[in-house]
Amino acid sequence: MITEFLATFWAMLCEMAPYLLLGFLFAGMLHAFLPASFYNRHLGRPGFWSVAKAAMFGVPLPLCSCGVIPTAMALRREGASKGATVSFLIATPQTGVDSIAATYSMMGLPFAVVRPVAALITAVFGGIAADRSSGRSLPGGDAAVSSEGGCCDMPQPKASAKRSFWQRCRTMFSYGFGEMLQDLGLWLLLGLVIATVITMAVPDDFFARFSSMPLLGMLLVLVVSVPMYLCATGSIPIAMALVMKGLTPGAALVMLMAGPATNIASILMVSRVLGRRVTAVYVGSIIAGAIAFGLAIDYLLPASWFAIAPVVSGAHAGCTAHAAPETPWVETVSGIVMCVLLAAGLFRRHMGHHSHVHPDSSCQQPIINDTVMKIKVSGMMCNHCRANVEKAVAALSGVESVNVDLQSGIVTVEGDVDRQAVIDAITSLGYSAE
């Protein structure tokens, strides 16, 4: 039993690994070479174009549903309209260059094309609805803070903010294969484990009973996936396993859309910052879009497009039934590399957090005087969360340095700054602070 489990798990990992590595590399390129100000200056005015731009910007970004919330809140505080913020919230966690590549590797080209298209269209309609429901208002200028850069936005020589090409390359690799794997590694492994269990434990005809009732299957998937946290990449092996067990492709798409885009924590945070009405539009748009595109797949598109070859679980099996008797060497090497990177990322996140330093936070200085406060923050789940808290606190007048320990949730601030101002800056992003 254990041998079969490990063989099935390894087969799935091998099939995803080459595309994941490529996706993480491209994600690092976006982070290192495309400035944050590029996104911020296009999203300020309510209306179709800001909403559409937010959706198009969000589709390739590799942010999970926990990381996208503080990022979107930072955009909102910068001056983005509610519609653009909601559009970004809907489009971003469903996709990403890494998950699109992994979707192609495991579920085929049609799924890899339909998934980002569905996210884009759903995000645009959701953003327009949010603008209309909120009266197309913009946030006040007094509440906005700069979201360009990180803690290095503090007064310092301008030359220190400049980075050479090789420094950007270093950031590209440290972000793509370091921070991203720290944030997504656990969820990716969890998704693979769940998919392996489903593949082995669920009878082949279990979901066949829903094949004649696609809508019922979609509603069942929504009940499970909306409140639960699933990252865009980790949801792929689960959806693939469910399709192989008889669930319709449309219901699988519902999981790929609704699972990564929502969870209880993100819904509560959006409600706190944007209000209940906008939150209802946000969740309702995701549900309606997922069901609409799911039904379109099941009823309008050829079923052969979405057929998925079963995973072979034998000890010497390849990644799919139609693969060679042994795993191709490229996939094997990629699988080994992924295992090493995942292990290193998880070790840094859970064991080495005290010595963790953000690649772009070289301006942090050790705390050497008594003007120090420590604040406990709840809700930070990834390096994107940490970076946004650093950014918001560092923008306050009088702050000299900020250090955020992701594992413990402790934010250490040095400088002559009011404690309540620090708490307000953190809670404006949707977190709890005390």
pLDDT tens-digit series, residues 228-255: 767 777 788 888 888 887 888 999 999 8
Q: Give yes or no for a contact between 230 and 269, defined as CB atoms under 8 angstroms apart.
A: no
Instruction: Read off the pLDDT of each residue in 9-20 and give the average, rounded to a whole number.
Output: 79
Angle, nearest 10°, between helix axes 109-133 and 276-300? 150
> What are the E-state strand segments in 149-240?
none
DSSP 177: I
Instruction: Read off the pLDDT of each residue in 115-133 and give the average, rounded to a whole number.
Output: 92
Query: Where do the structural domains in the chain lie, given as residue ranges?
Result: 2-341, 364-433
Q: Which tokens in the block code for residue 354?
A: 């005290």
Choose between 361 and 227: higher pLDDT. Answer: 227
- The CATH T-level fold of domain 364-433 is Alpha-Beta Plaits (3.30.70)
pLDDT confidence of residue 254: 93
Q: Give yes or no for a contact between 232 and 260, defined as CB atoms under 8 angstroms apart.
A: yes
pTM: predicted TM-score of the whole model, two decimal places: 0.63
Which has the minimum average pLDDT: 118-122, 136-140, 326-330?
Answer: 136-140
pLDDT confidence of residue 158: 37
Instruction: List, for residues 310-358, the tens digit of each pLDDT value.
Output: 655 443 344 343 333 345 788 889 889 989 988 888 787 766 444 343 4
Instruction: Read off the pLDDT of each residue in 93-120 and give the average, rounded to a whole number.
Output: 88
Q: What are phi and psi of 430, to 5 degrees?
A: 105, 0
Q: Which tokens in the block code for residue 316?
A: 């010497």
pLDDT score of 39 more than 70: no
Helix (H) or strand (E) holding 172: helix 165-174
Q: CB neighbours of 123 closer than 8 A, spacing ≥ 6? A: 51, 54, 55, 58, 59, 86, 87, 88, 90, 91, 285
Instruction: Read off the pLDDT of each residue in 207-231 and give the average, rounded to a whole number.
Output: 79
Instruction: List, for residues 88-106, the tens digit of each pLDDT value.
Output: 889 988 888 878 888 888 8
